[in-house]
Structure 1
Amino acid sequence: MRGERSRRDRRDSRWDEHRRARREQLVDATIAAVGRHGAGVGMEEIATAAGTSKTVVYRHFADRTELHVAVCARVAASLTARLRESIDSTSEPRQMVANAVETYLAFLEGDPELYRFVVQAPDRPAGQGPGDADPIANLSHLVGDQAAALVAVTLEQAGRDPAAAPPWGHGLVGLIRSAADWWLQADRPMPRAELTAHLTDLAWAGLSGVVSRNEEEDP
């Protein structure tokens, strides 16, 4: 009895691993199809890129939204890893801000169709909550956490209480995302380096101004 249960558990484990691997392959295929056909890629084109049928795709993902969220998770993991690396490459707070802005904009410019695919949420089935309306919100939240960590470092280095880091960090992400979306939609009217400099100046002026004011208020 125990041996039979053990064999069944091993079979279940192998099947779970197969499903995880197949889902990852379908995410890879989706990203490839976006690169080939653009952000408006259809499920038929995704299935073709995967060398399979839509029926098989739907066997692993309940609908387009679930596949879309899986792609968002892949993109979020990649971007947050790049952000951590860029922030950790310097100990100077202003340069951390510049590096983070540059990394985010480089991601957009490097693959604008993938970014458009991620931010363009598919039609949702009736009954899904408003929290599912913007899958990029999960990405923005993760990036906001990275920005909050950066702000916390700045405050700690200034001898300040880092309690304000989360709202400031997430506010910075909102600023950068809005400007980046405009830049992409306007067909990049200025070089990336120039936009990076503008956003860094704006973000740092606010952050350093608050830190300086707090220092002046000390008795």
Structure 2
Amino acid sequence: MTPITSDDLDRADAADGRSTRWEAHREQRRAELSRAARKAVHRSGPELSMDEMASAMGTSKSIVYRYFTDKSGLQAAVGQDVLDEIADALAAASRAEGTAQERMRSMVEIYVSTLTRSPNVYRFVTAQPGGATMSTFLSTVAEAVAVPLGEILGTADADGRLAGLWADGMVGFVRGAGERWLNTQPENRLSAEQMVDLLAGWLWRGASATSRIRSTGELS
């Protein structure tokens, strides 16, 4: 067996360093392209073809494919960035100072503001084939929502099962209502503030009712 020399180790270290630098460059480039795609969708809409997308991003379609394989890959990358931002904001709101009711309203406000700030990006992200990113996002949001709900339910939900169940229901309800609102013609649509007040009020009344459930399933 040929012994390994210090020169061999130096060459291996250099190769590893080049590989690490290449991976870092690749991730940086992917992030840049993802941000460019997000801006393109924000300006021009979610129905852009790959040729149109690449042109709006200031690059070629072959470059986009090199980093994302296909449109679904690009969509997933943009979606991950957007949904991570929303999830982080919602998690921060769930831990903020204030009453549970105030925090619930803040979380609704974050979601509605996302719809109004960039509806094109929202539609692009939520139209992902397969929906794996969206599924993970919804689970993460439900975990954040369950925090103030656990405080509301208190001893009525010692094991946290009701908080988790109600949180899942809340997330689905707000998403469904929010998307219906978004797809309503602007002249027939409630204002964003009205929408937040309405959704938050409905959710609060439901959570308050849930907190009165006894172990028998009866309402007090």
Normalising by the residue count of structure 2, what TM-score does the alignment of the two structures yield?
A: 0.86
8 Å contact from structure 1 (residues 29, 46) kept in 2: no
Letter of the 1:59 partner, please give it. R
2:85 to 78, 88, 91: 78
- Is the aligned partner of 1:212 residue 2:205? no
Deviation readout 1:7-36 (Å, 9 max, x if unpaired) = 111000000001101110110111111022
Equivalent residue number for residue 44 of structure 2: 37
Q: Secondary structure at the match of 1:40?
A: coil
Which segment is superposed worse, 77-86 or 176-185? 77-86
Unaligned runs of 5+ residues in structure 2 are 1-7
Give, in angstroms, the shift of residue 135 of structure 1. Answer: 4.5
8 Å contact from structure 1 (residues 150, 169) kept in 2: no
User: When the two structures are aligned, how many residues end up with a matched partner?
Assistant: 208
| Aligned pairs for 1:27-66 within 5 A | 27-66=34-73
Equivalent residue number for residue 19 of structure 1: 26
1:106 to 109, 113, 121: 113
Equivalent residue number for residue 143 of structure 1: 141
Letter of the 1:213 partner, please give it. I
Letter of the 1:83 partner, please give it. L
Equivalent residue number for residue 93 of structure 1: 100
Give, in angstroms, the shift of residue 215 of structure 1. Answer: 9.0
Equivalent residue number for residue 124 of structure 2: 117
8 Å contact from structure 2 (residues 156, 214) kept in 1: no
Task: Give me the whole-angstrom Cα distance separating, in 2, the residues matched to 1:85 and 1:133.
Answer: 24
Deviation readout 1:144-175 (Å, 9 max, x if unpaired) = 2221233223334x564123222211110000
- Is the aligned partner of 1:182 residue 2:189? no
8 Å contact from structure 2 (residues 143, 164) kept in 1: yes
| Aligned pairs for 1:129-168 within 5 A | 132-133=130-131, 135-156=133-154, 160-161=157-158, 162-168=160-166
Give, in angstroms, the shift of residue 40 of structure 1. Answer: 0.9
Give, in angstroms, the shift of residue 133 of structure 1. Answer: 4.5
Give, in angstroms, the shift of residue 3 of structure 1. Answer: 1.1
Letter of the 1:173 partner, please give it. V
Normalising by the residue count of structure 1, what TM-score does the alignment of the two structures yield?
A: 0.86
Unaligned runs of 5+ residues in structure 1 are 123-131
Letter of the 1:30 partner, please give it. A
Identity of aligned residues (%): 29
Task: Give me the whole-angstrom Cα distance separating, in 2, the residues matched to 1:90 and 1:160.
Answer: 22
Task: Give me the whole-angstrom Cα distance separating, in 1, the residues matched to 2:20 and 2:151.
Answer: 42
Task: Give me the whole-angstrom Cα distance separating, in 1, the residues matched to 2:13 and 2:116.
Answer: 50
Task: Give me the whole-angstrom Cα distance separating, in 2, the residues matched to 1:187 and 1:85.
Answer: 32
8 Å contact from structure 2 (residues 156, 213) kept in 1: no
Q: Secondary structure at the match of 2:198?
A: helix
Equivalent residue number for residue 201 of structure 1: 201
Which segment is superposed worse, 143-152 or 64-73? 143-152
8 Å contact from structure 1 (residues 119, 135) kept in 2: no
Give, in angstroms, the shift of residue 138 of structure 1. Answer: 3.0
Q: Which has the greater radius of gyration?
A: 2
**Shift in CA distance, 84/12, structure 1 to aligned 2, threshold 3 Å:** same
